[in-house]
Amino acid sequence: MTESSQQVLDTAAALIAAFGSNDVDSYFGFFADDATFIFYTLPEVLDSADAYRQQWRAWEREDGFRVLSCESKQQRVQVLGSVAVFTHQVHTHVVTSGGEEELNERETIVFWRNDAGTWLAVHEHLSPEPVTG
């Protein structure tokens, strides 16, 4: 494993830990300001970290949304110079006004290494885990 691959995995682990503990400020600190987000639960693409943060606040306010835990498995990272693609399966336990829910999803996060050498998430794409049977 290359040093860059390990740095991306470490950054992704910290991002997932912040998300899983509902540490919203830390979580959003892993994203570039102009990051984009595609969530299957929303009809529109969120075109900035601020737009996602506003959506998060709306979920909290309107639905009582809170992340209780998050587990990542089957992680893969591809480093392509100053860009890296991180993919994984993610199991998230959330609570809303409707009660607790377990989510099984697949996620791609694209990271970019800035001039200071910090890996920042610039794109996130979330999709439901296919039902097998």
Whether 10 is in a domain gets the answer: yes
Q: Which stretches within 83-122 are classed as H helix?
A: none
Is it the case that residue 133 has pLDDT exceeding 80? no
40-96 confidence digits (pLDDT tens) = 999 999 999 999 999 999 999 999 999 999 999 999 999 999 999 999 999 999 999
Look at residue 120 and tell me whether its pLDDT is greater than 80: yes
Residue 19 lies in a domain: yes
Average pLDDT, the chain: 97
pLDDT of residue 9: 98
* CB 13 within 8 Å of CB 91: no
pLDDT for the residue 131: 80
Q: Which domain holds residue 43?
A: 3-126
How many structural domains does the chain have?
1
State CA 30 to chain mean position distance: 9
